[in-house]
Structure 1
Amino acid sequence: MGRLLRIAAVILNLGLVAAISGCAHTTKSETAGQYVDDSVITSKVKGEIFREPGLKSLQINVKTYQGVVQLSGFVDSTDSARKAGDIARSVQGVREVRNDLVVK
């Protein structure tokens, strides 16, 4: 009976540790204001890319986190990838651009 209680206690403790660690604070958090700012930057970058005739038909994804814009997807030339990066850099509030566009 004592062995069964020890096993149950270990299982209960493991469950508690798992539950508590799931509530741990992550280092990648942003305030509501930062989230809104990033959303505005993303929208502006997407809009500027769409306005560019050579880029608007391409599959370019834009994500922003704390002012850092990540471009991903596929473009038809290195010139298109460079142009998309330049457009993203020109948007107010952008601190950095990570251009992960792939030429297909």
Structure 2
Amino acid sequence: MSLGVLGGCASNDPRRSVAESVDDAAITAKVKAALVGDPELKASDINVETVQGVVQLSGFVSSAESVATAATVARTVKGVKSVRNDLRLK
């Protein structure tokens, strides 16, 4: 499965350093990989974006349990400062 399908990337804010952008991109990739690795989630329906270590999850999932699971999985990734969970039920 291609991780490119999951969407999201680090912000292109010119005020941010290259190191911040690289760190955020790495966190985004790790969160996406963790979501793909969870058999309970349909990771292709979850978008991930990271800004200054704050991960935003968006998209649609099939259950309230999936909303909670996605946030829990994201929080386990090293470098994640907090998770903004904007997932919605289908």
Report the TM-score range of the alignment, normalised by the length of the smaller protein: 0.7 to 0.9
How far apart in 2 are the matches of 1:70 and 1:97? Answer: 6
CA RMSD of aligned residues (A): 1.5
* Structure 2 residue ranges without an equivalent (≥5): 1-12
* Aligned-residue offset at 1:28: 7.3
How far apart in 2 are the matches of 1:69 and 1:28? Answer: 19
Q: Aligned pair in 2 of structure 1 residues 63, 87: CA closer, same or farther (>3 Å)?
A: same
* Structure 1 residue ranges without an equivalent (≥5): 1-26
Tell me if 1:81 matches 2:39.
Answer: no
Q: Percent identity?
A: 50
Give a deviation string over 1:35-75, Cα, whole Å, max 9, x none. Answer: 00000000000000001112135500000000000000000
What TM-score do you get using the length of structure 1 for normalisation? 0.71
What TM-score do you get using the length of structure 2 for normalisation? 0.81
> Which structure is higher in RCO with an 8 Å CA cutoff and minimum separation 6?
2
Structure with more of its chain in helix, by fraction: 1
